[in-house]
Amino acid sequence: MQWPSGADEARTRLVAALTAVGRGDRAALREVYDMTAAKLFGICLRICGERASAEDVLQTVYIKVWERAGQFDAARASPITWLATIARNGAIDWRRSVAGRAARDTLPEQAAFAVADGAPRADQSLVAAEEGERLHRCLEELEDHTRLCIRAAFFDGSTYAELATRENVPLGTMKSWIRRGLLRLKDCLGDG
């Protein structure tokens, strides 16, 4: 099978594979895995913080993909967004679980903020570039500390309590920063 050259082809091929998974085609699940495992494992690894747990979570993510592929609607969501959302939610579920908390407590402190606010990687091949540009422009309009915290929540799976501790502000202040930031973000995206 020829590897697709452009983003559109990759997307088309992924949609076709996911649709086949929805019909119960296990070979198609392998195809989806081959196309997306590195990305989804990157998500699990970043949020779980260590390989063994991230690999366990990744397995459950593809089992969920197997179960839910029949619900994927290419008209409503991009395939990579659909998959990345399942992976991110799976990793956050693990972080919020008892096992996840215990494992995280033994991890060294992460230099997460530096990573979280780094320049956007150029891995936009499967994500619509135009929407990405608008979201980044709207995020740039937020105050620095608000943007940093929203990005840390997205990429590290941090809770309000963790962000408040990290930024050394009261929990109520952190909630207020982020809630106001998110509502401003919505306004900004809405008028674009």
Partner 1 sequence: MDDHLTPAQERDALAAELALGLLDGQARSDALRLSLSDPAFAALVAAWEAKLAPLHGEWAHAEPGDGVWSGIERQLAERPAETATAIETRLRRWRAGALLSSAVAAALAFVLITRPVPAPTPAAPQLAVARIESDAAGPLVLARYNQSNGLMQLRIHGFEPGALAPELWVIPEGGAPVSLGQIGHAGEAEMTMPPPHRLLMTDGATLAITMEPVSKTPHPAPSGAAVASGKIITI
d(CA 160, CA 62): 29
Per the CB < 8 A criterion, the answer to whether 15 and 79 are in contact is: yes
- Of 37, 103, 110, 145, which one interacts with partner 1 (CB under 8 A)? 37
- Of 2, 5, 6, 23, which one interacts with partner 1 (CB under 8 A)? 23
- Is 39 a residue that touches partner 1 (CB under 8 A)? yes
Query: Pattern of binders to partner 1 over 63-102, x per CB under 8 A?
Result: xx-xxx-xx-----xx-xx--xx--xx--x---x------
- Is 137 a residue that touches partner 1 (CB under 8 A)? no
Per the CB < 8 A criterion, the answer to whether 53 and 94 are in contact is: yes
Closest separation between CB of residue 65 and partner 1, Å? Answer: 9
Q: From the centroid of its chain, how far is CA 111?
A: 19
Nearer to partner 1, 9 or 180 (CB): 180
Assigned token pair, 19 = 């649709």
What DSSP designation does 70 have?
A: G
Which among 10-18, 102-110, 140-148, 181-189 is the span making contact with partner 1, rule CB under 8 A?
A: 181-189
d(CA 111, CA 158): 13
List the one residue out of 140, 131, 148, 116 whose CA is nearest residue 46: 116
Assigned token pair, 4 = 């697709």
Q: Kindly determine how many residues on this chain lie close enough to bind partner 1 according to the rule CB under 8 A.
A: 73
- Of 153-172, binders to partner 1 (CB under 8 A) are 153-155, 157-161, 163, 172
- Is 147 a residue that touches partner 1 (CB under 8 A)? no
Closest separation between CB of residue 176 and partner 1, Å? Answer: 4
- Is 14 a residue that touches partner 1 (CB under 8 A)? no
d(CA 80, CA 175): 30
